[in-house]
Amino acid sequence: MKSITIGMDLGDKKNVVCVLDKTGCSMNNDTIDNTAESLRIFFSKYKGSTVALEAGTHSPWISRQLSAMGCKVLVGNPRKLRAIWESNHKSDGRDAEMLARIARFDPGLLYPINHRGEQFQIDLELLQARDILVKNRSSLINHVRGSVKALGTRLPSCSTESFHRQAGEHLPAELHDTLKPVLGIIEQITSQIKEFDRQIEQTSKERYPETELLRAIKGVGPLTSLAFILTLEDPGRFDKSRQVGSFLGLTPRRDQSGEIDKQLRITKAGNPYLRRLLVSSAQYILGPFGEDCNLRRFGLRLAARGGKNAKRRAVVAVARKLSVLLHRLWQNGEVYDPFYKPQQRTMAKAA
């Protein structure tokens, strides 16, 4: 069955499948239920075949199941498959056929991605669940503050963790019955976020002790270090550490033609959550509490050049350089040196 190529358009309840033989002729077009049992029954006839599908909600577990059955699975990057999603005659059946034909002609055109392992996915969900709670808590706090301002009063400044206590003492009488339940929800969310923080610390110590190397950089906390490990999964997947910045969408897009070479914004490819954490770490490094180090000096030099977006560019540049540094520390097991100078150390060894 190695000569068989299968394209599968994933749906929430049904999957459309197109099977091509070694000559490229369609052997079978079918619709199957999006369940583990249905996949097992259908693909038991095509063990060893090449299966192409697009990355999506269901692609992680489906790709793992098909790989376990002996299939060669190619998970295409939807951002790169313009030929599929820009078609004038788009349909599930055509999408499945296009995936199969692209995989048969040149798998590289799918820009295939690798899904992380199941345990890594489970641990990463812990971080994402915490992130969802933090976003909802911020929305609720903003709602309470905005509601109070609409009546001409203002709540005192306080930390996010203590907001439900401080705000409860200063609510206007007119809004007390309405907003008190909202404060109760904020209190519950804050309590759950603290529990998630405890679980994150425990998970880092028990399963990912290498995070300690990354946390030696002041500004890189438990969230960033663990998210970095879980997102990249294996440091050996990159030949060079500098490739990590591009993988996380922290390098500028390029549009060059002839003598024109435009300066564009970053690609924002890859994991948006980790990219946001790295940018947040970079802001801390460049902020008033950041320690003196090569990263900070590099960023401040860029910011000092002036210009409309100098500081913003400096933050992104530091985030990109930080991702490279984190990968080097993880890959080589090195202890972080804030003023590391590789050229001088090489000269000293030669002497």
What kind and span of H or E run contains 103? helix 92-105
| Residue 215, token pair as written in the block | 């946390």
Is a pLDDT exceeding 50 seen at residue 297?
Answer: yes
**The pLDDT value given to residue 248:** 95
DSSP β-bridge partners for residue 261:
256
How large a percentage of the chain has pLDDT more than 90?
Answer: 82
Cα separation, 20 vs 24, in Å, equals 5
**What are 97-148's pLDDT values in tens digits?**
999 999 999 999 999 998 989 999 999 999 999 999 999 999 999 999 999 9
On the CB side of 188, how many CA atoms lie within 13 Å of its CA? 8
In 3D space, the residue among 238, 253, 245 whose CA is nearest the CA of residue 270 turns out to be 245
Cα separation, 336 vs 260, in Å, equals 41
**What are 3-17's pLDDT values in tens digits?**
899 999 999 999 999
Q: What is the SS3 assignment for 30?
A: strand
Is a pLDDT exceeding 80 seen at residue 254?
Answer: no
Q: How many helices (H) and strands (E) does the chain have?
A: 14, 7
**The pLDDT value given to residue 256:** 74
**The pLDDT value given to residue 11:** 95
**What are 71-99's pLDDT values in tens digits?**
999 999 998 888 787 778 889 999 999 99
**The pLDDT value given to residue 41:** 96
Q: Computed over its alpha carbons, how large is the radius of gyration of the chain?
A: 25
Between 162 and 255, where is the model more confident? Answer: 162
Helix axes 176-207, 118-149, angle to 10 degrees: 160
Non-local CB neighbours of 16 within 8 Å, separated by 6+ positions: 8, 9, 29, 30, 31, 92, 93, 95, 96
Residue 23: phi and psi, rounded to 5, are: -95, -5
**The pLDDT value given to residue 342:** 64
Residue 82: phi and psi, rounded to 5, are: -60, -30
Residue 7: phi and psi, rounded to 5, are: -105, 135
CA torsion, points 197, 198, 201, 204, in degrees to nearest 10? -100
**The pLDDT value given to residue 308:** 72
What kind and span of H or E run contains 233? none
**What are 22-71's pLDDT values in tens digits?**
999 999 999 999 999 999 999 999 999 999 999 999 999 999 999 999 99
